Amino acid sequence: MLPEDSQLMSTSPSSVLVALSGGGDSALAAALLKEQGWRVKGLHFLLPAPAIKKTERQNSVRRIEERLKIPVSYVHLEDVFTQKVIEPFVEAYLQGLTPNPCVVCNQRIKFDHLVRQADEEGIAFVATGHYAVIKRPEDSPAELWRGTDQSKEQSYFLHRLQQRHLMRMVLPLGEITKKEARRLALRMKLPTVSEPESQEICFVPGNDYRLFLEKSKGMGIAQRGKIVTRAGEPVGEHLGAYRFTIGQRHGLGIASPEPYYVMEIRPEENEVVVGRKQDLFSTRVEAESFTWLDGKPKEGRARALAQIRYRHVPGAGWLEGVSTEDVRFEFEEPQWGITPGQALVCYEGERVLGGGWIKKVQGARDTVHG
């Protein structure tokens, strides 16, 4: 059973629409909700993927449907996913950015369509298998908090959701660990319990984004260019600036007694700028399109924590609103490899304040995009 202070205990059982990917976490979320007395229905999104992978996902969802004895709907979202997730992903790389498509998918695909489908069917709540926590203080906006298992915690991916999503969300796995989740899945004899956890971008075969970009845009994007130091000294050549990300060390083809790391990508000049490891430490970052979860942009400077990528341990510092959609964050301690295009997510303790897209990095190095 789940702990008494679980999110499931704080929300009276009702009807709930669960997004089923075919993986173990979403299957467990549905099973826990049903065990708690919820009226559960599943929803599987059909997204762009190689035919074999798409068939595997559908077969897995059908096994979950049979095991839990719940109805499941299948919705085709190939076209809208391509338009809202894949095309921006490709363009971001060509602009010298390193995008995070999972954040975009949660905001613009998964939860938008989950809530829309729930509305059409008269279902009160929506749920997923994310490891994060939803709290609903009385007479206050809903809040998103970090999950209990810090090794699996996924609030970073959900920071762009709005109140219309958060007020309807139930996250059954937020207050359990991955180890506990596996134990529960074994007890419930879920068909997904032995399946390996995917670490790939769902639409990129083999997680080879370079090959994916070349197939999407053609080999014409593979233009030879220079690899230079910050001082402009040529130290090598490349076959496409899109093939590199900030902090990359391998694959540069530079003979040097001390390793070089990618510091900046300049798509207009088709240049890749490199430096030493210590050169990638920065203290200040600016983010755009910042989404405040309570819908109220903050003014002035305030103490906060900030996370610059998934798996990064949030660093302490000062958060300052520059405009209604732009913020500046100054870290107390320099952070390594802050990357334009990734999300800057800010926290007050364990509670998510909001997040935006990194556009400018300052400190040991200055990098501006947009």
Task: Say what the pLDDT of residue 194 is.
Answer: 72
Q: Which of 330, 291, 24, 287 is nearest to 176 (CA)?
A: 24
pLDDT digits (tens, 9 = 90+) for 349-367: 999 999 999 999 986 555 5
Q: Classify residue 211: in a domain, yes or no.
A: no
Is 105 one of the catalytic residues? yes
Domain match, 318 and 293 both:
yes
Domain match, 251 and 356 both:
no
Task: Say what the pLDDT of residue 208 is.
Answer: 92
Report how many domains make up the chain: 3
At residue 5, does pLDDT exceed 80?
no
Q: Which of 284, 342, 360, 355 is nearest to 97 (CA)?
A: 342
Among the options 29, 86, 105, 265, which is catalytic?
105
Q: Is the dihedral of CA 203, 208, 209, 215 positive or negative?
A: negative
Q: Is the dihedral of CA 55, 60, 61, 63 positive or negative?
A: positive
Cα atoms in the 13 Å half-sphere on the side-chain side of 87: 7
Q: Which residues pair with 301 in a beta bridge?
A: 320
Domain match, 290 and 254 both:
no
Structure tokens at 86: 């894949």
Task: Say what the pLDDT of residue 2 is.
Answer: 40
Q: Classify residue 217: in a domain, yes or no.
A: no
CATH of the domain at 240: 2.30.30.280
Rounded to whole angstroms, the Cα distance separating 238 from 215 reads: 19
What range does the domain containing 265 cover?
222-275
Domain match, 228 and 97 both:
no
Domain match, 57 and 23 both:
yes
Domain match, 261 and 159 both:
no
Q: Residues 283, 306: contact at Cβ < 8 Å?
A: no
DSSP state of 108: I
DSSP state of 313: P
Q: Which of 69, 38, 21, 28 is nearest to 187 (CA)?
A: 28
Is 102 one of the catalytic residues? no
Task: Say what the pLDDT of residue 12 is.
Answer: 55
Domain match, 72 and 130 both:
yes
Amino acid symbol at 154: Q
| Mean pLDDT for all residues in the chain | 92
Cα–Cα distances in angstroms (integers) from residue 351 to residues 9, 48, 294, 317, 355, in the given order: 20, 33, 11, 15, 12
Domain match, 271 and 283 both:
no
pLDDT digits (tens, 9 = 90+) for 333-343: 999 999 999 99
Q: Classify residue 88: in a domain, yes or no.
A: yes
Percent of the chain with pLDDT over 90: 83
Q: Classify residue 30: in a domain, yes or no.
A: yes
pLDDT digits (tens, 9 = 90+) for 130-149: 999 999 998 899 999 999 99
Alpha helices, DSSP H only, in the chain? 7-10, 24-35, 51-68, 78-81, 87-94, 101-105, 111-121, 163-166, 178-187, 209-217
Last-in-domain residue among 148, 174, 205: 205
Q: Classify residue 216: in a domain, yes or no.
A: no
Task: Say what the pLDDT of residue 190 is.
Answer: 95
Domain match, 268 and 284 both:
no
Rounded to whole angstroms, the Cα distance separating 329 from 130 reads: 27
pLDDT digits (tens, 9 = 90+) for 215-257: 999 988 999 999 999 999 999 999 999 999 999 999 999 989 9
At residue 41, does pLDDT exceed 70?
yes
Q: Classify residue 214: in a domain, yes or no.
A: no
Domain match, 284 and 263 both:
no
Q: Classify residue 352: in a domain, yes or no.
A: yes
Domain match, 147 and 289 both:
no
Domain match, 249 and 199 both:
no
Q: Classify residue 212: in a domain, yes or no.
A: no
Last-in-domain residue among 245, 260, 275: 275
Confidence band for 9, pLDDT divided at 50, 70 and 90? very low
34-55 average pLDDT score: 93
Among the options 49, 202, 221, 222, which is catalytic?
202
